[in-house]
Amino acid sequence: MAVIHHTTLKPTKLELLTSWLPSRPWYGGSGDPLLAKAGGFRLDDPQGEVGIEFMVITDAAGPETVSYLTPLTYRGAPLDGAEHALVGTMEHGVLGRRWAYDGCHDPVLADRLWALVEGRAEAQAQSVTDTVDREVTRSYAGQGLAAGQGAAPVVEDSQDGTRLTAPDGTTLRLHRVLRPAPQEAPLLPEGAVGHVAGAWQLPDGTRVHGLFAALHGDA
């Protein structure tokens, strides 16, 4: 169980993301983001070593506000071989120096996300210790356990989002640019065998729900 510490961070998560976001292929802004925290959830690391957060942020710098999904992991030491995925370092008021990574490139987050899709893990509230987030939904229609266990997936970032592909071709497609789901439309994309969806808040205070990730049987 992850313990949420209400303390200071220097720099803040939003400050780190403001510098990092324009470098992403799926970022559609002008390069000078105006970010706000809009929602998200956490997952527990069974070993208790890695903080795992799926943060939703909104960027109001352009003519239309855009919502982004930014999965992050927080570690007490650098992750070997993940220099390319480092978002930045920050000083935590309780835990000291923390290394923040783009969580899609962190094998612990990938494992826990697959577990969430399959129903082996529960989404936790973003800011409250030991509290299940009931706004997060998930489904899995595969046979047995998906291929997310064992070998780390191959990660590919593109303009369309991020793909985590297991050795057998099973692929989790993360929607980095989020869009509210129309009430009359099915949430699960055609051909998908599983999903994760969640809620976030728009700048006008509207609470919306949309697809975060979809699991497909092949790449």
Q: How many domains is the chain built from?
A: 1
- Whether residue 15 is contained in a domain is answered as yes
- Whether residue 25 is contained in a domain is answered as yes
Banded pLDDT at 2 (limits 50, 70, 90): low
| Residue 102: other Cβ atoms inside 10 A | 21
Tokens 């590919």 correspond to: 156
Tokens 């982004």 correspond to: 68
- Whether residue 3 is contained in a domain is answered as no
**Phi–psi pair at 103, nearest 5 degrees:** -65, -20
- If you average pLDDT over residues 95-114, what whole number do you get? 92
Banded pLDDT at 10 (limits 50, 70, 90): confident
- Whether residue 82 is contained in a domain is answered as yes
For the ranges 26-35, 91-100, 143-152, the maximum mean pLDDT occurs at: 26-35
Query: Is the separation of the CB atoms in 215 and 140 below 8 Å?
Result: yes
- Whether residue 1 is contained in a domain is answered as no
- What the block records as the tokens of 22 is 């324009």
**Phi–psi pair at 179, nearest 5 degrees:** -135, 135
- If you average pLDDT over residues 100-106, what whole number do you get? 97
pLDDT in tens, 57-74: 999 998 999 999 999 999
Residue 193 has pLDDT above 80, yes or no: yes
Range of the domain at 129: 9-216
pLDDT in tens, 74-94: 999 999 999 999 999 998 766
- What the block records as the tokens of 96 is 């000291």
Residue 150 has pLDDT above 80, yes or no: no
pLDDT of residue 127: 81
State the Cα–Cα distance between residues 198 and 137, nearest whole angstrom: 6
- Whether residue 79 is contained in a domain is answered as yes
Least confident of 29-33, 34-38, 104-108, 173-177: 29-33
Query: Is the separation of the CB atoms in 102 and 94 below 8 Å?
Result: no
pLDDT of residue 186: 63
Q: Rounded mean pLDDT of the chain?
A: 89
Banded pLDDT at 21 (limits 50, 70, 90): very high
Banded pLDDT at 130 (limits 50, 70, 90): confident
- Whether residue 32 is contained in a domain is answered as yes
- Which residues, including other chains, have CB under 8 Å from residue 199's CB and lie 6 or more apart? 39, 135, 136, 207, 208, 209
